[in-house]
Amino acid sequence: MVIPWWLLAVLVFGTNFVLWGGVGLLRATSALLGWVRTRVLARSWLLRALSDLGRLCSPPRAISETVPRRAGRIGVERVAVLMAAHNEELVIRRSLESVLALVPAENVHVVSDGSTDRTVEIAESTGVNVISTRANVGKAGALREAVERFELVERYAFVLLLDADTRLDDNYFRAALPLFENPEVAAVAGFVRSDWDRSGMSLLGRLLVCHRQRIYALSQYLLKFGQTWLRCNATHIVPGFASMYRTAVLPFIEMNPPGLVIEDFNMTFEVYQKGLGKVGFTPRAVAYTQDPDNLRDYVRQTKRWALGLWQTVRRHRPRRNLFSCMVFLLIMELLTSSLMMVLLPAVLLLLLVPVLFPEFAADSVLGPLHEAVSGHVSLVTLLFGVVLVDLLLSLLATLLLRRPRFLVFGAFFLGLRVLDCALSLYTLPLAWLTRSTGRWSSPGRRVPPGGATLAGPAVAHTLRGEILPGAGGTSNERASTGGP
């Protein structure tokens, strides 16, 4: 029996897109209806009169019921920015400049984790708070130490965890902070976009960055947007590149448990499994990050992320809640789709070779294998269920971000997805067979246009009225342990 193409598409690309994409559509519809009701009510004197009449005729409510659920507007003065950095002299100034345009310098805190370059010097020159760890303890260890030494829990209501290669959009805080007005929200996930600076990038580098950007777009719009609806809230990661936490929950989160290679999966699991609150998310809280533009760094980072997920799943036992159900579905789907994607080249070869070279059909090995595979999968099934669906996803990413580059590179994304799936399966046993130190070293960074400073005119320091000086730096260390 030949597998229908639509069933193959579901098995390869997963039911999560369908499930959470549907939830996201409900969320968007609910928000649209709420906006329409608000606008209509505000403009219609008849509806306002009926609403006032209803309130007059309704029985009196308790004082607690009449108090608005949401507090006043949250200002950035209540937010601490915490950046952990290790040998980031090429990019840290640009990231700090984007932050300093939005928050006071005294709110920004940098912890240098065993840096041996000019990271500390450059950070100090911007006027922010800077400390150093005694050794390279890893990102999670550096964050935990900085939270304690800077006393962020006692001094601030919220903390933004920011990577040294991340640049905040001007509207980041205007979009993210209102989500914390709901007391149930413990964390807010930032919306990640790749920093599309093509200077110095090879054609392969552009393909890798574009592939990663497509993953970001599809996973955030089709998965995370639905997963973070407060009515049914369960997402597997609050990414550590530019996300916010309510500081009141930090003492209950084990930020640096032994053996984990990265911290953001674990912190998200801790929020849900300990009942600390929900995760908010809006596509308007944008931050831009550098993604690897060479195959070596791309493979190392992908392996590191996959290993971090498997290690976190190993550490946290499932519970009877929506979050555990979401994680179970995610893991099962990740395993099945990864296996099918890894087998895809072999299946395609078995289907094509006897057709192109009929003499191989009589081979004692290839002949029976071809008959067995062709009895369940056909070239038409692969074309419609895998290739065409993947191209449609590229088209969707093009429409969502209005970037034609996804169509230009669309024919090559499928091969990179096979690589991603192979790396995910490769790291699965490592989560049980090895223990990670958590120590890190930055991947190769791209120097921002114009050297190690922002392209074009220098960004004015909006708080002190000064122009930030440029920074030098020509190299970055890279280690086999992987980058952030």
Q: Is 122 among the domain residues?
A: yes
Residue 194, phi then psi, degrees to nearest 5: -75, 140
Q: CATH code at 295?
A: 3.90.550.10
Stretch (H or E) spanning 472? none
Q: Is 464 helix (H, G, I), strand (E, B) or coil?
A: coil
Instruction: Sort 148 into a burial class: Cβ within 10 Å, 0-12 / 13-18 / 19+.
Output: exposed
The closest of 180, 193, 192 to 264, measured between CA atoms, is 192
Note down the domain range covering 463.
76-320+440-467
Q: Is 95 among the domain residues?
A: yes
The closest of 440, 406, 47 to 218, measured between CA atoms, is 406
Q: Give the distance between the most distant pair of CA atoms in the chain.
A: 88
For residues 469 and 121, what is the distance between their CA atoms, to the nearest angstrom? Answer: 12
The string of DSSP codes covering 309-359 is HHHHHHHSPP-SSHHHHHHHHHHHHHHHHHHHHHHHHHHHHHHHHHHH-GG
For residues 281 and 473, what is the distance between their CA atoms, to the nearest angstrom? Answer: 36
Region for residue 367 given its phi and psi (left: phi exceeds 0; alpha: psi -120 to 50; beta: otherwise): alpha
From the CA atom positions of the chain, what is the Rg in Å? 25
* CA atoms in the 13 A half-sphere facing the CB of 113: 26
| 238 and 137 within one domain | yes
Sequence-ordered strand ranges (E) for 395-465: 460-461
| 169 and 293 within one domain | yes
* CA atoms in the 13 A half-sphere facing the CB of 273: 21
| 270 and 136 within one domain | yes
Q: Is 178 among the domain residues?
A: yes
Q: Is 164 among the domain residues?
A: yes
| 298 and 365 within one domain | no
Residue 198, phi then psi, degrees to nearest 5: -85, -5
For residues 6 and 132, what is the distance between their CA atoms, to the nearest angstrom? Answer: 54
| 250 and 230 within one domain | yes
Write out the two tokens for 7: 């069933």
Cβ count within 10 A of residue 103: 21
Q: Is 83 helix (H, G, I), strand (E, B) or coil?
A: strand
Q: What angle do CA 54, 59, 62 make, to 5 degrees?
A: 115
| 366 and 259 within one domain | no
Identify the pLDDT of residue 250. Answer: 97
Identify the pLDDT of residue 472. Answer: 31
> Do the Cβ atoms of 45 and 422 come closer than 8 Å?
no
| 397 and 278 within one domain | no
This prediction's pTM:
0.83
Identify the pLDDT of residue 436. Answer: 83
- How many residues can be counted in the chain? 484
For residues 144 and 250, what is the distance between their CA atoms, to the nearest angstrom? Answer: 9
| 220 and 201 within one domain | yes
For residues 232 and 248, what is the distance between their CA atoms, to the nearest angstrom? Answer: 23
Q: Which residue has the tokens 């067995």?
A: 372
For residues 132 and 318, what is the distance between their CA atoms, to the nearest angstrom? Answer: 37
The string of DSSP codes covering 10-69 is HHHH-SHHHHHHHHHHHHHHHHHHHHHHHHHHHH-HHHHHHHHHHHHHSPP--HHHHS-S
| 375 and 252 within one domain | no
Stretch (H or E) spanning 82? strand 79-85
Q: Is 21 among the domain residues?
A: no
Q: Is 115 among the domain residues?
A: yes
For residues 194 and 166, what is the distance between their CA atoms, to the nearest angstrom? Answer: 9
| 233 and 334 within one domain | no
| 447 and 428 within one domain | no
| 389 and 280 within one domain | no
How many domains, the chain?
2
Q: Is 314 among the domain residues?
A: yes
pLDDT along the chain (484 residues), means of 10: 83 85 92 77 56 54 36 84 94 95 97 94 97 92 96 98 95 97 97 85 94 96 96 95 97 94 95 97 96 94 95 94 95 93 92 81 78 88 93 95 93 96 96 83 64 37 30 32 34
Residue 475, phi then psi, degrees to nearest 5: -145, 160
Identify the pLDDT of residue 207. Answer: 96
Q: Is 26 among the domain residues?
A: no
